[in-house]
Amino acid sequence: MNLWLWILIACVLAYAWKLVGYLVPAKLLENPRMSRIAGTMTIGLLASLTVVNAVATGQSLVLDARIGALIAAAVALFFRAPFLVVVLAGAGTAAGLRLLGWG
């Protein structure tokens, strides 16, 4: 039940961000710093989420099959594979490495 609460708050705030651009006078938001921070924060958060999902287990850092998934995804992206192929490459590599008994 508690998780539902956070989900609904996240949904309301996500809509609030979107709506604010339409309702607040453009002059208030034209500050270039705002769009700059929105952009750098997007990069920072996604980089952080990538690393957390690759090496963090709770509070400890672990090297396991997920590192293989990270490398496989990078290779797929380098060759301009579509999103779903990249995800499948990540899953397949992690599953394969575990099948071989690592991670």
Partner 1 sequence: MRLKLLESPAVRVGLSISIATGLYGVSFGALSVTSGLDFWQTMALSLLLFSGGSQFAFIGVVGGGGSGLAAMSAATLLGMRNGIYGMQMNALLRPKGWHRFAAAQVTIDESTATSTGQSDPDEQRRGFWAAGLGIYVLWNLFTAVGALAGSSLGDPKQWGLDGAAVAAFLALLWPRLKGREPVAIAVVCALATVLAAPFVPAGVPILVAAVVAAAVGWFSHGRRDEGLEPDVDPYDGGHRHHSEATTQRDQAAGRRQEDLP
Residues between 51 and 90 that touch partner 1 (CB under 8 A):
51-61, 65-66, 68-70, 72-74, 76-77, 80, 82-84, 86-90
Three-state secondary-structure class, residue 38: helix
Give the angle 59-63-65 at the CA atoms, nearest 5°: 120
Q: Provide the minimum distance between the beta carbon of 26 and partner 1 in the complex, in angstroms, as a whole number.
A: 6
Q: What angle do the packed helices 83-99 and 65-78 form, to 10 degrees?
A: 150
Is 45 a binding residue for partner 1 by CB under 8 A? The answer is yes
Which residue type occupies 17? Answer: W
Is 3 a binding residue for partner 1 by CB under 8 A? The answer is yes
Is 101 a binding residue for partner 1 by CB under 8 A? The answer is no
Is 18 a binding residue for partner 1 by CB under 8 A? The answer is yes
